[in-house]
């Protein structure tokens, strides 16, 4: 039931109600999906429930905006100015956008503010990139030839996103595609669509033309599927689980469209005995528990050298016991609830599997449901020691605040453990020995490897995975190139020699 004036913690809220954004207008829906707060169980927002027809209308707008509209035909400088204006407009609304993500995800408000700062960085960087979209000229094909390789926008991009970093994921895709000259139809997660809708409205106010950016909210089936199946969508940019990504890539093949897949992960934090243990503990703690572990680059496997393992685990657990789990709107909260009860139950199931398969529970392992936690989907920060590679928690992505500790004796064992996963998104190595660090960097199968830090990233650096973590890159120059096609042009000057063997 929808209630006006609901509260989350101390924050008074009106239930936010959103329509789709199609062709620059707010299309009135026939039905809504209610977002229940993961903190309190109350309704906090309602999003339009899109249908295949709604998706088709948005695709038609984006197609026409690409084929006939001004956006792909603007100069890079003009597109850059729009994206810069958007960056400024987002900064002005930073607190409001952070509150929306905080409430809908259950993300601590300080983390949500940090996300929006990241969003602004992506818009600024994409604005700079928009000035630099260019190809190559070749003058070494012989004196009568000039070759050109032009970089053109790929067309209409369908985007489908997960719920854990709504605004940030949006900003890893939308400004880069717009900078390239593409038009967009986005389907955000139905749990956390608020910030994508708000930022899209801002973009339209800042000068993105009607139809160039559309948002259809709703479920993967039918809205996401309609984007993937449509012959009028040229490219699919997907962030979500490996299982859904595989289905999407297979379906996209039916219309011969390219896709980029940002999928799950099972990151390793490898700590050698010579590491700065204070830094490594800090990094390991953050990597596994931030956003309550609902992070694709989560360092959910701690691979620590035998000689320091007892001390490391004891000190890590000491720090983890002090983490403040609570209302995400509270400035002091460090961990909020999980996204919904189904996710909490899934994580509890994986915790139960670890217990039954023989891992040592160091701390946590239970649902928090008393007092302030009643009504929310809170799980206590959990550490399992003496996990082995056969155990389910070592192999499966958990997407919750659960750390698996595995011990190693030498470098080759550490590398083998880190690579013993189908995923390949991100790992971290902690050591003061640069030879060891670089051997690990070269040996790890992962899209990103951090050395003596963890989870840091900037808009300049490409991001993506290998193996079951997907393919394609977001962010950096590669993140814009992903939304382009190359066109080759060969120009001949002067009289051409006869085409052999038809010359006679």
Determine the Cα angle at 392 with ends 389 and 397, to 5°: 100
Render 127-185 in DSSP notation, one character per residue: HHHHTT---EEE--S-TTEEEEEEEEE--EEEEE--SSSHHHHHHHHHHHHHHHT-EEE
Q: How far is the CB of 353 from ligand NDP (least distance, A)?
A: 18
Residue 296 falls in the annotated catalytic set: yes
Strand pairing partners for 408? 305
CB atoms within 10 A of CB 318: 11
- CA pair distance 75, 66, nearest whole angstrom: 14
| Sign for the pseudo-dihedral over CA of 449, 450, 456, 459 | negative
Which secondary-structure segment (H or E) carries 123?
Answer: helix 109-130
> CB of 479 within 8 A of CB of 125?
no
- For ligand NDP, the binding residues (CB under 6 A) are 160-164, 187, 189-190, 219-221, 224-225, 228, 239-241, 244, 247-248, 262-265, 296, 397, 399, 425, 465
- CA pair distance 341, 336, nearest whole angstrom: 13
Q: How far is the CB of 119 from ligand NDP (least distance, A)?
A: 14
Indicate the residue among 239 and 455 with the shorter CB distance to ligand NDP. 239
Catalytic pick among 190, 198, 262, 397 = 262
Indicate the residue among 37 and 239 with the shorter CB distance to ligand NDP. 239
Catalytic pick among 182, 296, 474, 482 = 296
- CA pair distance 285, 319, nearest whole angstrom: 8
Q: How far is the CB of 484 from ligand NDP (least distance, A)?
A: 20
- CA pair distance 466, 269, nearest whole angstrom: 18
- CA pair distance 373, 380, nearest whole angstrom: 11
Indicate the residue among 72 and 245 with the shorter CB distance to ligand NDP. 245
| CA-based nearest residue to 417, from 453, 447, 445, 454 | 445
Indicate the residue among 159 and 414 with the shorter CB distance to ligand NDP. 159
Residues 6 or more apart from 353 whose CB is under 8 A from it?
Answer: 391, 392, 393
Indicate the residue among 163 and 408 with the shorter CB distance to ligand NDP. 163
Q: How far is the CB of 414 from ligand NDP (least distance, A)?
A: 24
Indicate the residue among 207 and 220 with the shorter CB distance to ligand NDP. 220
Q: At what angle do helices 76-92 and 109-130 cross, to 10 degrees?
A: 160
Q: How far is the CB of 463 from ligand NDP (least distance, A)?
A: 7
Residues 6 or more apart from 346 whose CB is under 8 A from it?
Answer: 399, 400
- CA pair distance 162, 341, nearest whole angstrom: 16
Q: How far is the CB of 289 from ligand NDP (least distance, A)?
A: 16
Q: How far is the CB of 219 from ligand NDP (least distance, A)?
A: 4
- CA pair distance 148, 135, nearest whole angstrom: 7
Residue 311 falls in the annotated catalytic set: no
The CA radius of gyration of the chain, in Å to the nearest whole number, is 24
- CA pair distance 101, 284, nearest whole angstrom: 25
Q: How far is the CB of 408 from ligand NDP (least distance, A)?
A: 25
Q: Is the peptide bond before 290 cis (omega within 30 degrees of 0)?
A: no
Question: Looking at residue 74, what DSSP letter applies?
Answer: S
- CA neighbours within 13 Å on the CB side: how many for 123? 25
Which secondary-structure segment (H or E) carries 383?
Answer: strand 382-385
- CA pair distance 243, 248, nearest whole angstrom: 9
Q: At what angle do helices 166-180 and 76-92 cross, to 10 degrees?
A: 160
Indicate the residue among 327 and 482 with the shorter CB distance to ligand NDP. 482
Q: How far is the CB of 362 from ligand NDP (least distance, A)?
A: 24
- CA pair distance 441, 427, nearest whole angstrom: 9
Q: How far is the CB of 106 from ligand NDP (least distance, A)?
A: 14
Indicate the residue among 262 and 385 with the shorter CB distance to ligand NDP. 262
Indicate the residue among 197 and 228 with the shorter CB distance to ligand NDP. 228
Indicate the residue among 16 and 187 with the shorter CB distance to ligand NDP. 187
Catalytic site residues? 262, 296
């Amino acid at each position: 039931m929808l209630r006006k004036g609901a509260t989350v913690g101390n924050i008074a809220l009106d239930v936010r109600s959103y329509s789709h954004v199609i062709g620059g207008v707010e299309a009135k829906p026939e039905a809504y999906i209610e977002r229940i707060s993961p903190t309190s169980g109350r309704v906090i927002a309602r999003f339009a429930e899109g249908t295949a027809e709604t998706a088709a209308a948005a695709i038609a707008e984006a197609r026409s905006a690409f084929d006939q509209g001004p956006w792909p035909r603007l100069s890079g400088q003009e597109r850059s100015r729009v994206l810069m204006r958007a960056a400024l407009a987002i900064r002005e609304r930073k607190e409001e956008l952070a509150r929306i993500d905080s409430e809908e995800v259950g993300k601590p408000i300080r983390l949500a503010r940090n996300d929006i700062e990241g969003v602004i960085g992506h818009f600024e960087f994409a604005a700079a990139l928009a000035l630099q979209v260019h190809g190559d000229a070749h003058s070494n094909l012989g004196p009568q030839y000039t070759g050109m390789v032009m970089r053109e926008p790929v067309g209409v991009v369908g985007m489908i996103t997960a719920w854990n970093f709504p605004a940030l994921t949006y900003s890893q895709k939308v400004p880069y595609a717009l900078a390239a000259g593409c038009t967009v139809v986005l389907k955000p997660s139905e749990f956390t669509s608020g910030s994508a809708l708000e930022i899209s409205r801002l973009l339209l106010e800042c000068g993105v033309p009607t139809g160039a950016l559309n948002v259809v909210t709703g479920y993967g089936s039918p809205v996401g599927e309609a984007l993937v199946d449509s012959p009028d969508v040229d490219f699919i940019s997907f962030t979500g689980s490996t299982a859904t990504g595989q289905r999407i890539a297979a379906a996209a093949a039916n219309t011969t469209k390219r896709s980029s897949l940002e999928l799950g992960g099972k990151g390793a934090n490898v700590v050698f005995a010579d590491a700065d243990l204070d830094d490594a503990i800090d990094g390991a703690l953050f990597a596994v528990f931030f956003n309550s572990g609902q992070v694709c680059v989560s360092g959910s496997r701690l691979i620590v050298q035998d000689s320091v393992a007892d001390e490391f685990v004891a000190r890590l657990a000491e720090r983890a016991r002090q983490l403040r789990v609570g209302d995400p709107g509270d400035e002091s909260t460090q961990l909020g609830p999980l996204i919904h009860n189904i996710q909490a139950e899934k994580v509890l199931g994986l915790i139960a599997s670890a217990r039954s398969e023989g891992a040592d529970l160091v701390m946590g392992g239970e649902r928090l449901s008393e007092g302030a936690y009643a009504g929310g989907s809170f799980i206590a920060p959990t550490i399992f020691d003496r996990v082995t590679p056969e155990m389910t928690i070592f192999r499966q992505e958990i997407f919750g605040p659960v750390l698996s500790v595995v011990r190693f004796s030498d470098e080759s064992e550490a590398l083998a453990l880190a690579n013993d996963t189908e995923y390949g998104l991100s790992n971290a190595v902690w050591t003061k020995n640069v030879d060891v660090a670089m051997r690990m960097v070269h040996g790890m199968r992962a899209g990103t490897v951090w050395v003596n830090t963890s989870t840091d990233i900037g808009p300049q650096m490409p991001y993506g995975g290998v193996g079951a973590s997907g393919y394609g890159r977001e962010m950096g120059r590669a993140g814009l190139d992903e939304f382009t096609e190359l066109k080759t042009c060969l120009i001949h000057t002067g009289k051409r020699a006869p085409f052999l063997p038809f010359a006679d």
